[in-house]
Structure formats: structure tokens, C-alpha cells
Amino acid sequence: MKLPATLVRTAAVARKEGWHILRDWRSLLMALAIPALMLLLFGYALTLDVDRVPLAVWDQDGSPESRELIARFAGSRYFTLLAFVDSYAPIERMIDENRCMLALVIPPDFGRTLRSGGAAEPQLIVDGSNSNTAMIALGYAEALVRAYSFQLQAHDLEAKGGGKLKVPVDPQPRVWYNSELQSRNYIVPGLIAVILMIIAAMLTSLTIAREWENGSMEQLLSTPVRAHEIVLGKMAAYFALGAVDTVAAMLLGVVVFHVPLRGSLLLVVASSAVFMMGGLFWGIFLSAATRNQLEAYQMGMVTSFLPAFLLSGFIFAIENMPAVIQAVSYIFPSRYFITILKGVFLKGIGLQVLWTELAFLSLYALVVFAAATRKLKQRIA
């Protein structure tokens, strides 16, 4: 059976671009290695967990009560007892040198005040230069001190024969989807989307610009091939390379970082394919619009990395952004792909919930394909 002419021409463009990819083995090696290296680097280095907070202690009391409080800090996984000091000067110096984030200062009459039934007031000094981490560390410390205070109240009440002190409200938290509260389970799926967006845009942002600079575009235009066939053929060649990167990134996330895959693998594959096509079409559009490899590369980085990292909900919650920025974030496909990945990996939800995001990814791919084809036609004309 004879294939349609448009399919034959598209396959010819894809084959030509595939041979170019294979001949440029250095670029091929980078395209295959960079996603894995980025995922390993960011996966291990980027974390939202706040634990092992370096702690300095100035115990001016030396009583059993103060030593018990210090032992609670030292025994918590959220704190690392760094040093004992004897004045405020070492605390200030250690905070200035970034060796200490939190300091516990126990007053001289701490134990005597507690034994007499009074309210002792230990001091917590926190480095607020990183406000988010400081608030989390301060919350850990305050919760630990409140637990110690409650235990002292309960012990005092029992000693006086008043029975056991009961908590009026005793919350019982249940953590769904990420019961260990490991930030890697939240970060790695988002990293996969960010890396694939960067790679997709980078792979194709140079392809047509390179043709113009090398003078081979004129030869290509002398053939019967049409603009949409050039776009589809080039996308198909790089799609195969992007598929390898996608599989490698998914395997690293599941095998190396142990991110649970609770949902449909088929949905992950389908959404990844649509997302990859949109990113590749966007790179081709930039390449056709600039005719210059340097400009295309710079535009590809600006329009792929920054929105995928900042405006996708990967690190910063979109709900906390200004309304204008929230509206702008809707035009970037990484927002929808990250929602799909986190929903499938962590929550195990399926197409009945995520169909809107998949529809937006499909619409984005179609719109960018049309824009790339139109821009290439304008350049040819």
C-alpha cells in the first residue's frame, strides 16, 4: 500500500534530522546525560525539609529542669546541639557566621520558678534572614517547649493529688499521599516536568536556525516539502530522543528516589508525550522566529526554565501568588503537567480528575504547532 505523499515527506524530514542527531554525538550525549544529571543534582540538593537545625544553648541555671529541657532539644531529630555558650556574644557571632540558626537561653531562676509553681520564660533567638525556615524552626522549638510545659503541669497536678491533667482538644493528624512528609516525593515529580520542558525547548530551538545559518534551508525549500511537514518531521526526530530522556527521568524518580507511583502508568506516558510535543513545537517556533542559534537558545532558556521553575507550582504555591501572576501561570504547560504528575504519582488519581489538565496540554500543543507552522511559512515567503 502506497503511503500518502505528505507522510512520506514528513518521514523524510524526520530521517534527515535523525541522521544529523546521530552524527553530532557530543550533543546527543549531552541531551541524554543532562536530564539524569540535573535530576540527581536537584533531587539530592534541593529539599524543603527543615531538620537538624543547628542549636546553641546558654544555660544560666544548671538545674535538673533546665537540663531536662536541653535534653529534649538534643534528642529531637529537628535539632542538632551545636555548642554550649556562656554569653550572648558567642550566639551573635555564630549566627553571623551562619553556624547557628537557633539559640536557647535559659534564665538563672528557671528551675526555682518552676518548682514554686511560677511561669519560667526561656528565650529563643532565631536567625530570621531566611524567614520561611526560621518560622518552621521556631514552630518546632515552641511545640517542644509547650510539650515540656504540659508534662510539668501534669506532674505537678498528680503530685498534689488532683488526678491526671487531660487535654481538652487532642488532634489526631492523618497525612495522606505523603505520610512520611518527605519533600523528595513532592519535588521529584515537579523536577521531571521542569527538566523535560527545558530539554524539549533546547533540543529544537536550534534546529531551524541552524538550517538558515548553514544555508541548508534553501536546499530543503527547493524540495516539495511543506512547512507543516518540516515542523512535524523535525519534532518526530527529537521526540524519540525526548522519549528516552522521559523514561530515564521516570526510572530515576521511582528507583533512585523511591517516589511512589500510585496511579496509571499509561496516563503518565500519554501526558508526557503530549507535554513533550508541546515543548518541542515551542522550540521549533522560537527557532523559526529568530533564525539565529544564539538568540533561539537564549529565548528557549528564558521561556522554558523560568516559567517551569517559578510559575508552575513546582516550588512556590500558585495560590499564594498575586492574582495577576496566577492568571499568567495558566498559559504555561508545565503548570498542568506538574499537576498531572503529582496527582498520578502521589495521589493515584486518574483521568476522571485530571482530564482538564490533559486537555489544556493538548490544546497548547496544537496552538504552538499552528504558530510554528505559520511562522515558518512567513519566513519562507
**Predicted pLDDT at 162:** 57
Per the prediction, the chain carries an average pLDDT of 83
Reading the block at residue 240, the C-alpha cell is 524519540
Reading the block at residue 215, the C-alpha cell is 544555508
In CATH, the number for domain 53-159 is: 3.40.1710.10
Report strand pairing: 123-126 vs 102-106: antiparallel
Asked whether the beta carbons of 53 and 81 are under 8 A apart, the reply is no
Reading the block at residue 340, the C-alpha cell is 498531572
Instruction: Point out the least confidently predicted range of 74-83, 188-197, 210-219, 290-299.
Output: 210-219
Query: 123 has which bridge partners?
Result: 105
- Asked if pLDDT for residue 1 goes beyond 60, the answer is no
Q: Over range 120-126, report the average pLDDT.
A: 88
pTM for this entry: 0.79
The CA distances from residue 341 to 106, 118, 236, 272, in Å, are: 48, 53, 23, 9
- Asked if pLDDT for residue 3 goes beyond 80, the answer is no
Q: Over range 72-94, report the average pLDDT.
A: 90
Distance (Å, whole) CA 340 – CA 275:
11
Asked whether the beta carbons of 226 and 54 are under 8 A apart, the reply is no
Distance of CA 142 to the CA centre of its chain: 29
**Residue 355 pLDDT grade (very low, low, confident, very high; cuts 50, 70, 90):** very high
Instruction: Point out the least confidently predicted range of 151-155, 283-287, 332-336, 354-358.
Output: 151-155
Distance (Å, whole) CA 26 – CA 7:
30
Reading the block at residue 262, the C-alpha cell is 500510585
**In the chain, what are the domain boundaries?**
9-47+182-380, 53-159
**Residue 336 pLDDT grade (very low, low, confident, very high; cuts 50, 70, 90):** very high
* pLDDT 10s digits, 48-72: 777 788 999 999 988 888 899 899 9
Choice between 335 and 222, residue whose per-residue pLDDT is larger: 335
